[in-house]
């Protein structure tokens, strides 16, 4: 049986926070959780788009509630401001979905001096999870879902000497590096949470080939060639399913990674996805954690 949003258990009395929730996969995740009764916080860099998303979600109906807050993951200062605002309004967070991302933009540095994709896809979410960790601890069974990509398999290990654009920029390589980093972060978060006895499930997901704004920086010819090679893109609601499964299904375990069940994990319905040896490298995961902890000033739990 194909798992869909119909299979999501009741989410009443749960608070979920979704980054990048104003469009695409993040929007569909927020909508599905709202329809199942959750209070959903839409975190978005573009607050006007988040406001529009809330109106659209409400128009489709649901039993939950919604709020929004501006979040710019490329700025560690703004991540701190966001977390402060959330902690002032909420006692707990049951589901944190680290969904927002950037893919193959022109070369550039974040406000804090890091390659943009690494800054947004990994570092901002590392800081966000750490700042909200006290609220996750207060949930009876919190889940943290980090969005990766099948593209992570393009690289075998992290290059710690190229996180600030020290080398010639390769947009695809840097994207793949950030998505490998997401998986290493996911596994190390689970290891640490377990050691400290926290009832938190850290897992990851990827959407396969899905229609979203993520590809907006891709050259049209490259994009068209990719579609011709890999086939038609799935709609955003279907690409959101692996993350929703990781966030809500009863059989999810810490360290699990979900993606589409079709050939090469490109399209289909949620199933366990492949974690390569690189993604399971405990040495790399701990090294990444220590690096992120040092530059963000956050070492948790």
Active site members: 175
Residue with tokens 């996750």: 136
**Could you report how far apart the first and last alpha carbons of the chain are, in Å?**
38
In degrees, to the nearest 5, what angle opens at C-alpha 137 toward C-alphas 132 and 141? 115
């Amino acid at each position: 049986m194909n798992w869909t949003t119909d299979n999501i258990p009741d989410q009443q009395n749960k608070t979920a926070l979704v980054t990048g929730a104003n469009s695409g996969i993040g929007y569909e995740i927020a909508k599905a959780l709202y329809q199942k009764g959750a209070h959903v916080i839409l975190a978005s860099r573009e607050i006007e788009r988040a406001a529009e998303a809330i109106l659209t979600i409400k128009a489709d109906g649901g039993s939950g509630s919604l709020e929004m807050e501006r979040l710019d993951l490329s700025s560690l200062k703004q991540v701190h401001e966001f977390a402060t605002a959330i902690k002032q309004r909420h006692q707990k967070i049951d589901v944190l979905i680290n969904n927002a991302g950037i893919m193959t933009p022109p070369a550039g540095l974040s406000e804090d001096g890091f390659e943009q994709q690494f800054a947004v896809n990994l570092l901002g979410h590392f800081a966000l999870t750490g700042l909200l960790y006290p609220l996750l601890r207060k949930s009876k069974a919190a889940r943290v879902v980090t969005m990766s990509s099948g593209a992570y398999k393009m690289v075998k290990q992290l290059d710690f000497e190229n996180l600030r654009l020290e080398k010639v920029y390769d947009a695809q390589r840097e994207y793949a590096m950030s998505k490998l980093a997401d998986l290493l972060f996911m596994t190390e978060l689970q290891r640490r949470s377990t050691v400290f006895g926290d009832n938190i499930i850290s897992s990851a997901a990827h959407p396969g080939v899905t229609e979203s704004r993520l590809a907006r920086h891709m050259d049209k010819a490259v994009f068209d060639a990719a579609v011709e090679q890999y086939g038609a893109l799935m709609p955003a609601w279907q690409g959101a399913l692996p993350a929703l499964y990781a966030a809500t299904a009863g059989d999810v375990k810490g360290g699990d990674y979900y993606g589409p069940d079709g050939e090469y994990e490109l399209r289909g319905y949620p199933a366990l996805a492949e974690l390569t040896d690189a993604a399971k490298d405990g040495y790399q995961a701990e090294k990444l954690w220590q690096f992120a902890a040092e530059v963000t000033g956050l070492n948790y739990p």
